[in-house]
Amino acid sequence: MKNITTNIRKTILNMANASGSPHIGSALSCTDIISTLYFKVMNISKPISNDRDYFLLSKAHSAMALYGTLYEKDFLDKKTIEGYYQNGGTLPAHTDRDTSDFIEISAGSLGHGLPIALGIANSIKLKNESNKVFVLLGDGEMQEGSVWEAAMLAPKLGVDNLTIFIDHNNLQGYGRATELVEFYPVKEKWESFGWETYVIDGHDCKEIERVSKIQSSKPKAIICNTTKGKGVSFMEDELIWHYFIVTDEIKEQALKELI
Amino acid sequence: MRNTIANEIIKKAQKDKNLFLIAGDAGLRVWDEYKVDFPNQYLNPGVNEQCDIGLAAGMALRGHKPIFYNIAPFVIMRPYEQVRNDICYQNLPVILIGTGSGLTYAPAGMTHYAIEDIALGLTMPNLDIFSPADPIEAKKCFEYAYNSSKPSYIRVPKAGEETIHKNEDIDITQPIIIKEGKDGILFVHSSMIDEISTLDDLLQKNNINLTFATVPMITTKYKFEKILNDFNHIFTLEEHYENGGFGSLLTNYINNSDLCKKIIKFGIKNEYIHKIGNRDYLRKYYEIDATSVYKKIIKRIKKC
């Protein structure tokens, strides 16, 4: 996985640089989670088919990590990646499902992905099908009320095919989730809502794979301890990389670290 | 109209196992039999409208035909962004059904009135908006929505409305003339239909004969030139804010056409309602009852 995640991080840096788009830190934070799902966990292949597993990027401002992963899987081509965030381009900063069969939802406003995933998972269960549904949320996103509406309803629907990942990098737009709200205890919150809950290192691909594959009779919540900007030392855990633009100089500096 | 739609849902559910009803903790006794007969096609998820709309969108993405039923403010206002992003932006065939259109629930209080729902709905491309005036129109609107691949919003008052059409041979995608007259035309939708008989009587006593037409599909693609060319006086009457309802839509239509016509809109003044009283009382207060409208029409026709 190391080569794969390094390649994806390079793609992300190149996309951020070529486009001048923000959110590099958020994308690097969840690269290991998304890539492990696509390369080690999910049943998904080209062309897209109805028996695929689903991945929904609810924290859609990290879209570069998804685009980079889909490119590495050969689900998106080079031209599409190069059209990211460009005038008359191919991919917006926040996902639009019209852009590719492999983009499951249009998203960008926080708190939408989990309810939609719950609908997909419920539909699959009602049809006695076996697809799995994975969703990635941000830790800041957990402040949205709709997340808790869905959190309360999901166990009641018996959606044992639903797994959420919380990218807990503790650095949202303008502060730390653990300081802005009563974030902790986070594991106990999800457990008390009826979810099977795990806390893991969100950059340990083997651990992500192992926990993702555990069978459970309940919906699963995997809290992933992560570092925003992971992989580029000067971006790690720095709030500015939620917004700052990757200049040519920054890109070269960062790429050296990824070799 | 509510019960008519409920019956249609039952009929469809028998044949279509993908039809799925999400009744947002609303509809006392309406779904008692349905939930027993179709337990795998029914969910009362509780009070969580944002989640319900996302849930419906997700189920539609996987091939279900979801219907979200609730009182109108909680269908389109509370979860507005979910309706916008999850359903309309993604253009999913979800049917939203809102009861208590207009002032139906008065004097429940402003939070329970749906007098800006059309305005909100019109901001969302892809969404078809229906406001039927009788049970037959309601049935046909539901049928249209059920067969559509786009999102739909059907607003109905409640149960027990009078049937105005003689048979089901109507086309809800265009205005439906319910009475012809030469002195002008008045468009009406939803429960305001029950003012029309009195209004017509009052006008006829003054030798004024209007054409009355319902508009069950607010987002109709109908070419209004066909009907408006024949009239000098054009009126709209609705239990909705005057700004942003069907009257505004028709005004925009005319402004963008070659027609040299003016619309007189009768609707609710744009203000939060603090006045307490039932629907008839509030209609009088906002001067959209038959007598008030009659006076305004007479004045207008005499003036122009």
Q: How far is B77 from chain A (nearest CA, A)?
A: 15
Does position B81 have pLDDT exceeding 90, yes or no? yes
Does position B176 have pLDDT exceeding 90, yes or no? yes
Cβ-based neighbour number of residue A2 at 10 Å: 8
* Whether residues B184 and B285 fall in one domain: yes
- Averaged pLDDT score across all residues of chain A: 96
Task: Report the residue from B46, B48, B57 with minimal CB separation from A116.
Answer: B57
Which domain covers residue B180, as residue numbers?
Answer: 176-303
* Whether residues B145 and B188 fall in one domain: no
Supply the pLDDT for residue A176.
Answer: 93
* Whether residues B6 and B37 fall in one domain: yes
Task: Please name which of B105, B121, B138, B102 lies closest in space to residue B288, comparing C-alpha atoms.
Answer: B102
Supply the pLDDT for residue B300.
Answer: 95
Distance of CA B251 to the CA centre of its chain: 18
Look at residue B233 and tell me if it is in a domain: yes
Q: How confident is the model at residue A111 (pLDDT cuts 50, 70, 90)?
A: very high
The DSSP annotation for B133-185 comes to SSHHHHHHHHHHHHH-SS-EEEEE--S-PPP--SSS---TTS-EEEE--SS-E
Sign of CA dihedral B189, B191, B193, B198: negative
B158 within 8 A of B279, measured Cβ to Cβ: no
Average pLDDT in the B4-19 region?
96
Does position A259 have pLDDT exceeding 80, yes or no? no
Look at residue B163 and tell me if it is in a domain: no
* Whether residues B228 and B152 fall in one domain: no
CA B72 – CA B56 distance, rounded (Å) = 16
Average pLDDT in the B30-45 region?
95
Supply the pLDDT for residue A239.
Answer: 87
Taking CB atoms and an 8 Å limit, are B59 and A109 in contact across chains? Answer: no
Contacts of A158 (CB under 8 A, 6+ apart): A125
Does position B27 have pLDDT exceeding 90, yes or no? no
Q: How confident is the model at residue A242 (pLDDT cuts 50, 70, 90)?
A: confident
Measured in residues, chain B has a length of 304
Predicted structure pTM score: 0.97
* Residue A108, SS3 per DSSP: coil
| Domain CATH code at residue B285 | 3.40.50.920
% of chain A beyond a pLDDT of 90: 94
Average pLDDT in the A5-34 region?
96
Task: Report the residue from B40, B43, B86 with minimal CB separation from A112.
Answer: B86
Interface of A with B in 201-230 (CB under 8 A): none
Interface test with B, best of A122, A134, A141, A152 (most B CBs within 10 A): A122
H/E element, A112: none
* Whether residues B151 and B25 fall in one domain: yes
| Domain CATH code at residue B113 | 3.40.50.970
Strand B42-43 and strand B65-71: the pairing is unpaired
Pick from A177-186, A220-229, B205-214: least confident: A177-186
Supply the pLDDT for residue B26.
Answer: 80
* Whether residues B221 and B289 fall in one domain: yes
Supply the pLDDT for residue A184.
Answer: 93
B184 within 8 A of B206, measured Cβ to Cβ: no
Which DSSP letter does residue A9 get?
H
Supply the pLDDT for residue B241.
Answer: 98
What is the number of structural domains in chain B?
A: 2
Does position B284 have pLDDT exceeding 80, yes or no? yes
* Whether residues B254 and B206 fall in one domain: yes
Task: Please name which of B45, B118, B125 lies closest in space to residue B87, comparing C-alpha atoms.
Answer: B125
Contacts of B91 (CB under 8 A, 6+ apart): B126, B150, B151
Beta strand spans in chain A (E): 54-57, 133-138, 162-168, 196-201, 220-225
* Whether residues B142 and B55 fall in one domain: yes
Q: Is the ipTM of this complex over 0.95?
A: yes
Does position B28 have pLDDT exceeding 80, yes or no? no
pLDDT digits (tens, 9 = 90+) for A67-79: 999 999 999 999 9
Q: How confident is the model at residue A4 (pLDDT cuts 50, 70, 90)?
A: very high
Cβ–Cβ contact B40 with A under 8 A:
yes
Taking CB atoms and an 8 Å limit, are A112 and B82 in contact across chains? Answer: yes
pLDDT digits (tens, 9 = 90+) for B219-252: 999 999 999 999 999 999 999 999 999 999 999 9
Cβ–Cβ contact B170 with A under 8 A:
no
Domain boundaries, chain A: 2-258
* Whether residues B111 and B188 fall in one domain: no
Look at residue B114 and tell me if it is in a domain: yes
The residues facing A137 across adjacent strands are: A166
> Which numeric CATH code is attached to A2-258?
3.40.50.970
- What's the half-sphere exposure (Cβ side, CA atoms, 13 Å) at A53? 18
Distance of CA A233 to the CA centre of its chain: 21
Task: Report the residue from A116, A122, A149 with minimal CB separation from B86.
Answer: A116
CA A161 – CA A118 distance, rounded (Å) = 10
Supply the pLDDT for residue B14.
Answer: 97
Does position A95 have pLDDT exceeding 90, yes or no? yes
* Whether residues B133 and B190 fall in one domain: no
- Averaged pLDDT score across all residues of chain B: 96
Strand B176-179 and strand B211-214: the pairing is antiparallel
